């Protein structure tokens, strides 16, 4: 009897988890199904590049998972029943249910309109490939001198504003930030960011809380109106809503509460990774939604599942931060080194070298999806018939 592992979502975390499980376990013992709505891997960390007019290398899952034993199921997830241990999906042939013994929930997140009036009707997002392509098409139709306002001063907002300004120097690009420009960075980091903004001609509207989006402007809390032929919304992410509709224990925003092995605290046959999971990091602080946080959670979950199925030792690898990597167009970058709990230190790397560093990080993230074997032995482990039938093994002492 094969142990059925179903992985929902093939972003960075879901794809890494599926591939790592395939490397750890024998295919005659487990059946791994990866459910995703699209046939290609989406490099989410490059969506600002796609929106700015650059073409990205296609990465079809059929090639990435060839010969691994991972079965790709092209379908949209419509529901999860954690009591019956089934997943509802719909594809071109209609609706169906998939049964599982172990579920890896990696549906991730999308853009967060924050309930601000007019965002859904008028703003553009780059949290997804369809959103980035929609913005790309709109930017291509803008005439010289028209204004693009990026709302949100976090990493995504900085990358979007600089990428668009570099690609379209004929446009008037601005950024509206709730706080100061790069106010979480070190003094050297903030200085370099302002230098790049000045070089690219980007206007920074600081301490500007956007309270509404219209067809040609954004309104701020202090009563001002910032002209915007296009408003790009980058104020954070909202988790996929399906988990909140289940019996799983979730947070107020819908993240699944997990233990240190990414296992649901309420349903031990469910694991959550990436943005879908509430994971506590150093300093007892929740990990932020990011690729930097998500990949280690996928490694942790896959290794924990494999250990429990084979009677091996559970992973006990602390998840921590080392730096924040920010691309500022294709020629500039900013690497802000941080403490384990993500607070900026004085050290930074800037300029062309930082841009090359960030590019290596992006390539490495994509490489890790197709080669999710960091730290793994080459030998696959055997799942006993009893463990496969029972659904999980007795936990080994960590």
Across the chain, what does the average pLDDT equal? Answer: 92
Predicted confidence band of residue 343 (pLDDT cuts 50, 70, 90): very high
Instruction: Classify residue 187 as exposed, middle or buried by CB count within 10 Å of its CB (0-12, 13-18, 19+).
Output: exposed
pLDDT tops 70 at residue 328? yes
Structure confidence at residue 378 (pLDDT)? 43
pLDDT tops 80 at residue 177? yes
* Domain 114-233: top CATH class: alpha beta
Q: What is the 3-state secondary structure (H, E, C) of 214-274?
A: CCCEEEECCCCEEECCEEEECCCEEECCCHHHCCCCECCCCCEEECCCCEECCCCCEEECH
Architecture in CATH for domain 3-110+237-320+381-390: 3-Layer(bba) Sandwich (3.50)
Which two tokens mark 291? 């690729």
| Ranges 35-39, 77-81, 208-212, 317-321: which has the least confidence | 317-321
CATH 3.50.50.60 residue spans of the chain: 3-110+237-320+381-390, 114-233
pLDDT tops 80 at residue 56? yes
pTM of the model: 0.91
> Cα 118 vs. chain centroid, distance in angstroms?
25
Query: What are the pLDDT digits (tens) for 76-129?
Result: 999 999 999 999 999 999 999 999 999 999 999 999 988 999 999 999 999 999
Query: What average pLDDT does this structure show over 123-149?
Result: 97
pLDDT tops 80 at residue 130? yes
Residues of the chain with pLDDT > 90: what percent?
A: 86
Predicted confidence band of residue 365 (pLDDT cuts 50, 70, 90): confident
Query: What is the C-alpha to C-alpha distance for residues 285 and 319, in angstroms, rounded to an integer?
Result: 11
pLDDT tops 60 at residue 258? yes
Query: What is the C-alpha to C-alpha distance for residues 25 and 30, in angstroms, rounded to an integer?
Result: 7
Structure confidence at residue 277 (pLDDT)? 97
Query: What are the pLDDT digits (tens) for 236-253?
Result: 999 999 999 999 999 999
Angle (nearest 5°) at CA 374 between 372 and 378: 85
Predicted confidence band of residue 366 (pLDDT cuts 50, 70, 90): confident
Structure confidence at residue 381 (pLDDT)? 57
């Amino acid at each position: 009897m094969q142990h059925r592992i179903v992985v929902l979502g093939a972003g960075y975390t879901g794809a890494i988890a599926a591939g790592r499980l395939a490397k750890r376990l024998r295919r005659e013992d487990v059946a791994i199904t990866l459910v995703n709505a699209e046939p290609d891997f989406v490099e989410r960390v490059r969506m600002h590049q796609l929106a700015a007019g650059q073409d990205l290398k296609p990465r079809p899952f059929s090639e990435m998972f060839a010969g691994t034993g991972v079965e790709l199921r092209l379908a949209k997830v419509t529901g999860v029943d954690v009591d019956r241990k089934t997943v509802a999906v719909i594809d071109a042939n209609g609706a169906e249910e998939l049964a599982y013994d172990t579920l890896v929930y990696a549906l991730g997140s999308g853009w967060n309109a924050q309930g601000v009036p007019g965002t859904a009707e008028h703003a553009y997002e780059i949290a997804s490939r369809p959103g980035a392509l929609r913005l790309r098409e709109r930017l291509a139709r803008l005439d010289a001198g028209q204004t693009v306002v990026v709302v949100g001063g976090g990493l995504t907002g900085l990358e979007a504003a600089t990428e668009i300004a570099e690609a379209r120097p004929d446009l008037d690009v601005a950024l509206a930030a709730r706080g100061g420009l790069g106010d979480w960075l070190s003094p050297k980091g903030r200085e370099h960011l302002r230098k790049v903004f000045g070089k690219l001609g980007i206007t920074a509207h600081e301490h500007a809380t956007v309270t509404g989006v219209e067809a040609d402007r954004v309104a701020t809390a202090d009563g001002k109106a910032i002209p915007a032929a296009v408003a790009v919304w980058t104020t954070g992410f909202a988790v996929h809503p399906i988990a909140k509709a289940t019996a799983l224990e979730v947070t107020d925003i819908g993240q699944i509460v997990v233990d240190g092995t990414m296992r649901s605290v309420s349903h031990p046959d469910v694991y959550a990774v990436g943005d879908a999971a509430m994971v506590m990091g150093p300093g007892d602080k929740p990990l932020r939604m990011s690729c930097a946080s998500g990949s280690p959670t996928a490694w942790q979950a896959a290794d924990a599942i494999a250990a429990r199925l084979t009677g091996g030792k559970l992973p006990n690898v602390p998840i921590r931060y080392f730096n924040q990597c920010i691309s500022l167009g294709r020629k500039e970058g900013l690497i802000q080194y941080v403490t384990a709990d993500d607070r900026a230190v004085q050290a930074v790397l800037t300029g062309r070298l930082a841009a090359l560093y960030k590019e290596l990080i992006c390539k490495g993230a994509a490489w890790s999806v197709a080669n999710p074997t960091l730290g793994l032995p080459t030998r696959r482990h055997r799942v006993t018939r009893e463990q496969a039938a029972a659904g999980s093994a007795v936990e080994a002492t960590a």
